Structure 1
Amino acid sequence: MKQTGLSPEDQIAEFIASAAKQPLLDAAFELWRWRYRLDSIEGRPTAEEVRINRTLTPEQISAKYRWDRDHAHEGPMFGYLKRAHPRADDAAIRQAIITAVKFEDATFTHFSWDGDFWACVVRAVARAAAQYPDFLETTYRDARNNVAYYYK
């Protein structure tokens, strides 16, 4: 996505327009993948949140990470997905976000570094896809790239 030179609103609109072209579930995963960039554009975390986060113990950081993922459907992601799919039912939007987060978690859970790196990535996403079969093939491709990026 080309982001340079655009206002924050226009940058977010590009992400949302891209997600709007996909079915709800796939749009949820796409937006979830871009959450850190979207947060950055929106000014999250704030300087105060960064200050507080730096004081957290590893256990507290882990708990915060789990809470953020468990409640992703209650935060900004809901608004992004609602903008991408304005006619979708709120419950369906929440469920799509929950499923997208769980799918991403499954891709990481199934990753095992035992052989060729790319083969490990492909195997991890294939196992997650077996659990979550309702995504488009392009989403599984994006999930493979996502896993490869985080485990590089």
Structure 2
Amino acid sequence: MNQIEPSAEELIAAIVASAAKQPLLDAAFELWRWRYRLDSIERRPSAEEVRVNRTLAPEQFRAKYRYDRDHAHDGRMFDYVKRAHPRASDDAIRQAIITAVKFEDATFEHFNWNGDFWDCVVRAVARAAAQYPDFLETTYRDARNNVAYYYK
């Protein structure tokens, strides 16, 4: 039986709809976690973007990466969160994105390979949660899974 693949718009709408079920801050974190998937669904990089990215020195790549994170609230991420929470003010959305990015950064900064892998993950997210206590427990669970995925 031929199964019809959902369109890019349907895939993005499903991710946004999932985030819309959560409070603004948690929705911002969920959408931030999905950023690479959203970007790959929404558009492929142009040949020129690929060429430029391949020629970046490590320092330039880190600077570009940091710039993208530092300005996430001004880019497509703002549009995704606005779709999930259309009644939220623009300032509240921007602040939620900034907080979500900083929370994710904190989870990675607190990670320390010292003992059992999962214990290290749990400890890192617990320390980040102490700095950012306003997320739901399900978001902290997702953050643990996120850290485990990237450090596996």
TM-score over 0.5 for the pair: yes
Check conservation: 1:129, 1:140, Cα contact below 8 A: yes
Instruction: State the distance in 2 between where 1:58 and 1:13 align.
Output: 35
Q: Counterpart amino acid of 1:52?
A: V
Q: Counterpart amino acid of 2:90?
A: D
Name the structure 2 match of 1:84: 84
Instruction: State the distance in 1 between where 2:136 and 2:48 align.
Output: 39
Instruction: State the distance in 2 between where 1:35 and 1:66 align.
Output: 15
Structure 1 residue 47: deviation in Å?
Answer: 2.6
Please give the secondary structure, in 1, of the residue aligned with 2:145: helix
Name the structure 2 match of 1:34: 34
How many positions carry a matched residue from both structures? 149
Q: Counterpart amino acid of 1:56?
A: L
Instruction: State the distance in 2 between where 1:28 and 1:49 align.
Output: 26
Mapping of residues 54-73 of structure 1, within 5 Å: 54-73=54-73
| Cα pair distance change 1:131/1:44, threshold 3 Å | farther
Instruction: State the distance in 2 between where 1:66 and 1:115 align.
Output: 29
Please give the secondary structure, in 2, of the residue aligned with 1:54: helix
Instruction: State the distance in 1 between where 2:138 and 2:58 align.
Output: 35
Name the structure 1 match of 2:17: 17
Please give the secondary structure, in 1, of the residue aligned with 2:39: helix
Q: Counterpart amino acid of 2:10?
A: D
Which ranges in structure 1 are unaligned for 5 or more consecutive residues?
none
Instruction: State the distance in 2 between where 1:112 and 1:83 align.
Output: 36
Structure 1 residue 44: deviation in Å?
Answer: 4.0
- TM-score (norm: length of structure 1): 0.96
Structure 1 residue 5: deviation in Å?
Answer: 1.1
Instruction: State the distance in 2 between where 1:45 and 1:109 align.
Output: 29
- List per-residue Cα deviations over 1:108-131 (Å, max 9, x = no partner): 000000000000000000000000
Instruction: State the distance in 2 between where 1:44 and 1:64 align.
Output: 18
Q: Is 2:107 the partner of 1:141?
A: no
Instruction: State the distance in 1 between where 2:148 and 2:71 align.
Output: 25
Q: Percent identity at matched positions?
A: 83
Deviates more, 1:35-44 or 1:89-98: 35-44
Instruction: State the distance in 2 between where 1:54 and 1:107 align.
Output: 28
Instruction: State the distance in 2 between where 1:77 and 1:98 align.
Output: 10
Which ranges in structure 2 are unaligned for 5 or more consecutive residues?
none
RMSD over aligned CA atoms reads: 0.9
Instruction: State the distance in 1 between where 2:134 and 2:47 align.
Output: 39
Instruction: State the distance in 2 between where 1:16 and 1:87 align.
Output: 14
Runs of 4+ in 1 over 2 A off after TM superposition: 44-47
Q: Counterpart amino acid of 1:122?
A: V
- TM-score (norm: length of structure 2): 0.96
Please give the secondary structure, in 2, of the residue aligned with 1:63: helix
